[in-house]
Chains A and B, each alone.
Chain A
Amino acid sequence: MKILLEKLIINYPYFAAVILFIIGALTVLTRSNLFKKLIGINIMESGIFLMFVAAGNIRGGAVPILEEGSSRSVYINPLPSALMLTGIVVSVSVTAFALALILRLYKEYGTTDARRIAEIRSGVLKK
């Protein structure tokens, strides 16, 4: 038990990533407000970003820029951070597109609640 706790404390960024991921997934799946779904997606993505960035980190490592005459020998791994830059760009474009769609749905139905939209639509279909 003590070893498990110690592992958790040492690897706290991963622990935080898992918690973020679960919060995000729950928000996406249980909330019917479209904005909240979108925010849930973003929180899930943050969880994965955190996992990647934590994987590249080395304790006590320096920023990976080589300087002449520098005595540092340990640098953090820059690759995961660079990858997550791409990931953030993708996530921003997904968010922008989703917001545009929500705007169109709001103009059409006058609500941003997925359940209300389904009700309105089935009413429309019955008529």
Chain B
Amino acid sequence: MMTVITDNLPVFVVIAPLFVAFILPTFARRLRLVEGLVIIANTLWIAGAAYLASIVLSQNGIPITYALGGWQAPWGIELKAGSLGALFILIIAGVSLMVSFFARNNLTEEVGSYERVARFYVLILLLGGALAGMAVTNDLFNVYVLVEIATLSCCGMVSARKHARAAEAAFTYLILATLGSILVMGGIGFIYIITGHLNMAFASQELGRVWQNSPHVVWMAFSFFLVGFGVKAAVFPLHVWLPDAHSTAPAPASAILSGLAVKGYLICLLKILYNVFGQTLMQQYAVQRILVIVGTLTIMAGSILALTQDELKRRLAFSTVAQVGYIFFGFSLINTKGLSGALFYLVSHAVIKSTLFLAAGAMISATGEGKISGLAGIGRKMPITVAAFTVASLGLIGIPLFSGFIGKWYLLLGSMEAGSVIPAVVIIAGSVLCAAYLLPVIRVAYFEPTPEVDVKDPGLSQKVALIVLAAAVVILGILPGPFMELANMAATELLVLK
């Protein structure tokens, strides 16, 4: 019995949310039932993810492989739940559980009617399933399909509000993201043409032998993947769609889009760079230099653009661009410290940014004011929400004892080990800028005089979600334990392969 569960875990964590997503529309008229089902599905999902993580930890990072439909590796689609997959699925499941708690009793005013709320949950679960799939898949074309599922459900979430701006942001996002997926598909095509394999491990072996026969094709594949995933993960010159899309979406959607969706594409890029091309080819084609330049530019540009925004959600959206820069830069460091730092930063940013967006959403829906100046004195009326916002901000800035610090610290150590000084300076400068754009919000919220208006306090489930997420930021900062261990294992595994 136990082995049946263990053997099927890699596919369970992908199928669970997808399955529930497709039965939800039948209950669309009964909102309580839909919300209950989503929370049950998420709880089961996180239980599966935690069990998977504990197995991977106890096996010292040896992955569980699963052949879909019983077709073995070079022919069939293979799922491989290693430490990287377990880490990422755990964080997706955790954040989506909290977000679905937050969304209870809260979505109808933002989205419109009951039926639309049910459809919105369908999109959240589809996105979760697609991201979990990206974390465990070991097949290149499967990556493309999952990327498309994720993109379409993200676009659906962005357009969920009945607002002309939402449709416009969704259209821009859809066109640019499809452009990105076409490039990704092209890159997969190049790899398939020269290696004849779609399985990452087999393609990587074959690529190691044949790349010298067709160096230009490898070059094209690299550039297609970098630009394709770059558009989707919103690195600096390609980030134009992100601020509109993430700030016009309803609050739970922005939390998931900023916290999780962007990370899925980064994980895919990481897997393709390290598991398919391998570090030898990366060094041969100077890819890590491109990653360093793009990463540092993204950190600086995102932070400076965030400083200029008056709207709270837009400021947070630009801050996401900056944090993607950190992770992108971390991918360039071909050493364990840098890579595990990047992965831990990815995890901690997922938690922090979803807290920030949820708290911002609660504040905005309470005051009806999207501008930062409109939040004067709100800290005294909504103590829990603003406290969660403050904790998450401190985490994002990278104060010790909060989770952002550990990621940034390892990134710094990694960049020192790689001998690059300028990026290290940029990391610290990014932290200072981060303080410069987040602390004023907290100052306004706590220390400005309160105007005499009624503020609607968020409900119990919203408060619970915010408290749990803020607690997670602190706990990850004090006791990173298993998460850091998983990140470390994943980094070692990525570097050992080839």
Contacts and interface: CB of A to CB of B under 8 A. Distances in A.
Contacts of A83: 141
Contact of A52 (B145, B152, B174, B189): B189
Contact of A94 (B170, B174, B185): B174
A22 interface: no
Contacts of A38: 175
Nearest to A106: B167
A6 B296 CA distance: 45
B311 interface: no
Contacts of A86: 141, 145
A101 B170 contact: yes
Interface in A15-33: 21, 25, 28
Contacts, number: 68
Contacts of A51: 186, 189, 193
B164 A105 contact: yes
Grouping DSSP codes into helix (H, G, I), strand (E, B) and loop, the B interface class, with mixed when no group exceeds half, is helix
B178 interface: yes
Interface in B128-146: 141, 144-145
Interface string A87-127: 10010011001100110110011000000010001000000
A98 B193 contact: no
B211 interface: no
B185 A55 contact: no
B488 interface: no
A76 interface: no
B376 interface: no
B164 A98 contact: no
A43 to B, nearest CB: 10
B171 interface: yes
Nearest to A105: B167
Nearest to A91: B178
Contact of A48 (B148, B167, B189): B189
Contacts of A21: 186
Interface in A41-97: 41, 44-45, 48, 51-52, 55, 79-80, 83, 86-87, 90, 93-94, 97
A44 B228 CA distance: 13
A108 B163 CA distance: 9
Given A87-B185, A94-B174, A117-B168, A101 B159 contact: yes
Contact of A102 (B171, B179, B189): B171
Grouping DSSP codes into helix (H, G, I), strand (E, B) and loop, the A interface class, with mixed when no group exceeds half, is helix
A76 B164 CA distance: 49
Contacts of B171: 34, 98, 101-102, 105
Contact of B182 (A48, A93, A101, A108): A48
B152 A41 contact: no
Given A55-B189, A90-B145, A90-B148, A108 B175 contact: no
Interface string B169-201: 011001100110110011001001100001000
A45 B182 contact: yes
B185 A48 contact: yes
B260 interface: no
Contact of A101 (B144, B174, B193): B174
B175 A41 contact: yes
B182 A44 contact: yes
A25 B176 CA distance: 11
B97 interface: no
A62 B148 CA distance: 32
A109 B174 contact: no
Nearest to B159: A101
Contacts of B168: 105, 117, 121
Contacts of B179: 25, 28, 41, 44
Interface of A: 21, 25, 28, 34, 37-38, 41, 44-45, 48, 51-52, 55, 79-80, 83, 86-87, 90, 93-94, 97-98, 101-102, 104-105, 108-109, 117, 121
5 contacts: A87-B185, A97-B156, A101-B159, A101-B171, A104-B164
Q: Which 4 pairs of residues, A with B, have the shortest CB-CB distance?
A: A108-B164, A104-B167, A101-B171, A90-B148
